[in-house]
Amino acid sequence: MGMTITEKILAAHADLDEVTPGEIINARVDVALGNDITAPLAIQAFREMGARKVFDKAKVILVPDHFTPNKDIQSAEQCRLMREFAQEQELKHYLEVGRMGIEHALLPEMGLVGPGYLVIGADSHTCTYGALGAFATGVGSTDLAAAMATGEIWLRVPETIKFIYTGKRRPWVSGKDLILYTIGAIGVDGALYKAMEITGATIRHLDMSGRFTMANMAIEAGGKNGIFPPDEITLEYLRPRMAIGYTIYQSDEDACYAEVKEYDCSRIEPQVACPPSPANVKGVRALAGVAIDQAVIGSCTNGRLEDLRVAAQIIKGKQVAPYVRLIVIPATQEIYLQALREGLLEIFVQAGGAVSTPTCGPCLGGHMGVLAAGEVAIATTNRNFVGRMGHPTSQVYLSNPAVAAASAIKGKITHPEEVADKN
């Protein structure tokens, strides 16, 4: 029996000829990642276990991105602890404010993750890197500590669900809509501890930004990882970033899948996840008229240059609705600079929006856009649980950047076609 792409990567990193779902393995890691919330706990555990040196100075990566720039004394102390550990260990990749970005957008941009990698991160959206054909998954801080010390982690080999997407996408439908539709169809535990292998004719024409978005939200369906078989679009993205050092894996034709699910994308309109769950999904037209107080365009899910371009296309020459806040957060400094060069940031500011330095900020209710009691936001982020972005009585709707931009202009949830220029 053949193996899936996920099984092949795990077998290679466990020095085994093959693995099967349910098997417990000890695997080598290529990247161990921590941020300003999770790394301090990992550093504490690292010291408590008696470890003195990380296993590889180039493979342990620390990025302060959640409560940064420091929002208060406590977050400043968290970052100081992480910074001092990075200096002590002489880490090659400690990415400070001003040179950093939201971790899951930053690492691929810097060429630090590639196909065939095994990546763990003490952040649930580490699964983002599966867009490149890597096995990437979130772990707890104690698991990160062990990996920082030993370069290894134990894993249970997951079963794989194969998702096949066919049909031509409608206007304004992006990778965000495909993954929201999928989560709505299978639920937040529909892929619990399973690999989500994302394939199909539609995917072969989806850009890397859309792929990163879909892989990012595999965890919202309970997935252990999301993964895309690498193709020419993957390689085109990698060429200026990684010349060597990665391995391309593809699933065997006779690989065994727990399930196979197929979706006709020509029938999918822009999707919106309603409070309080990413699985509470409806077409945007069903929510027309829901008033908002805030729109957020950014995060590790949708803060890439392509996302900002789409939002700017909608917003150009218009004004944000009265009493509505538009917050735009480029995911990395490089994205910020390119958006500046292209005039995108000027479009947002002229429309009455606020542009932030890279940060996770409002996505987790950290800062830069926390919601008050009863307020409603539409956001390109990945979670909308109770209290996720602020007060427990606030509400968050999840959408793609075009829907969020159109909604900011109208002051209510709006289909982009109602706002976009016709010419």
DSSP 63-113: E--SSTTT-SHHHHHHHHHHHHHHHHHT-SEE--TTT-B-HHHHHHHTT--
Q: CA 292, 397, 290 angle in degrees (round to 5)?
A: 40
Q: Which DSSP helix (H) or strand (E) runs through 194?
A: strand 194-199
Structure tokens at 63: 């990025």
Task: Say if residue 330 is preceded by a cis peptide, omega within 30 of 0.
Answer: no
Reported as half-sphere exposure (CB side, CA atoms, 13 A), residue 188 has a value of: 12
Per-residue confidence (pLDDT) for residue 423, from 0 to 100: 52
pTM across the whole model: 0.97
Give the C-alpha distances (Å, rounded to integers) separating 409 from 185, 248, 312, 404, 414. Answer: 30, 43, 11, 9, 9
pLDDT in tens, 189-218: 999 999 999 999 999 999 999 999 999 999
Residue 22: half-sphere exposure toward Cβ, Cα within 13 Å: 1
Q: Residues 368, 134: contact at Cβ < 8 Å?
A: no
Kindly report, residue by residue over 286-335, the tens digit of the pLDDT: 999 999 999 999 999 999 999 999 999 999 999 999 999 999 999 999 99
CB count, 10 Å around CB of 85?
23
- Helix intervals (H) in 151-243: 175-186, 208-216, 232-238
Q: For all residues of the chain together, what is the average pLDDT?
A: 97
Nearest-CA neighbor of 138 among 67, 38, 52?
38
CA distance 33 to 140: 11
Residue ranges of alpha helices (H) inside 192-321 are 208-216, 232-238, 299-302, 305-315
Q: Give the pLDDT confidence of 218-235 residue by residue, as tens digits.
A: 999 999 999 999 999 999
pLDDT above 60 (res 24):
yes
pLDDT at 352: 98
pLDDT of residue 422: 67
Please determine, for residue 20, whether its predicted confidence score (pLDDT) is greater than 60: yes
Q: How confident is the model at residue 356 (pLDDT cuts 50, 70, 90)?
A: very high
SS3 assignment, position 300 = helix
Query: 268 is written with which tokens?
Result: 């999918």
Q: Please tell me the number of Cα atoms within 13 Å of 119 on its side-chain side.
A: 32
Question: Which pLDDT score is estimated for 244?
Answer: 85
Say whether pLDDT at 130 is over 60: yes
What are the structural domains of the chain? 5-263 (3.30.499.10), 272-418 (3.30.499.10)
In this predicted structure, which of 23-27, 87-91, 95-99, 283-287 has the lowest mean pLDDT? 95-99
Over range 134-153, report the average pLDDT. Answer: 98
